[in-house]
Amino acid sequence: MVSILNSLITSKARVKILMRLFLNPDRHAYLRELADEFSMSTGLLSDELKQLKKSGFLESEKNGRQIHYRANQQHPLFSELNSMVRKALGMDRIIDSIVERLGDLESAYLIDDYAEGKDTGLIDLILVGDIDQVNLTDLVAKTEKYIGRKIRTLILGRAEFDSMSRVFGDRPMLLLWKSGELLRQEK
């Protein structure tokens, strides 16, 4: 799916920006942060950010000397782009497989880098519920091959998750699934 995005959008910088800002649209980023993360020049990224803002895909807000960018959730194509990014990263496949085969899943959270929209190759998931750990290990191995990324899981019961809320404190966290269906960002 990432290759599909690359073929539809010829600018690799633009694809990286969309992946970063549309996976978790409540988060924002500024030019220097993105340049460091992507190892790209600020000039190239500045042009791409301006173009994406001009076409309405991004919103910006000045914060001191920095301009912070985030996905424009009011854009008519927002839901489709958000869905494409989730599919490109394999999130839909991971959650669908877990729900179908692993027991009683109450909720699933993406944490850390991917919750910020950073495609680092290591996906951290918190699964809340009564999960079959033997089947999870098998499923994770198969899914990792399919999506080309490593998956690290933490399984917690509801009470355990609630009592550990302090541990997750300031860490980026994105609710992916709850009570029967994949969450869609629609506003």
- Which string of DSSP letters, residue by residue, matches 25-51? TT--EEHHHHHHHHT--HHHHHHHHHH
Residue 125: left (phi > 0), alpha (psi -120 to 50), or beta? beta
What is the DSSP secondary structure assignment for residue 170, as one 8-state letter? T
Domain with CATH 3.30.460.10 in the chain: 90-182
Neighbouring C-alpha atoms within 13 Å toward the C-beta of 176: 31
Mention the CATH class of domain 90-182. Answer: alpha beta
* Residue whose token pair is 């404190």: 169
**pLDDT at site 93:** 66
* pTM greater than 0.85: no
CATH architecture of 2-82: Orthogonal Bundle (1.10)
| pLDDT tens-digit profile, the chain (187 residues) | 444 444 445 577 888 888 888 877 888 899 999 998 888 899 999 999 999 999 899 999 999 999 999 999 999 888 888 888 777 766 666 666 666 677 788 888 889 988 887 888 888 999 999 888 888 888 888 888 877 789 999 999 999 999 988 888 888 888 887 865 544 433 3
- The pLDDT tens digits of the residues spanning 167-177 come to 888 888 888 87
CA 11, distance to chain mean position in Å, is 20
- The pLDDT tens digits of the residues spanning 91-110 come to 666 666 666 677 788 888 88
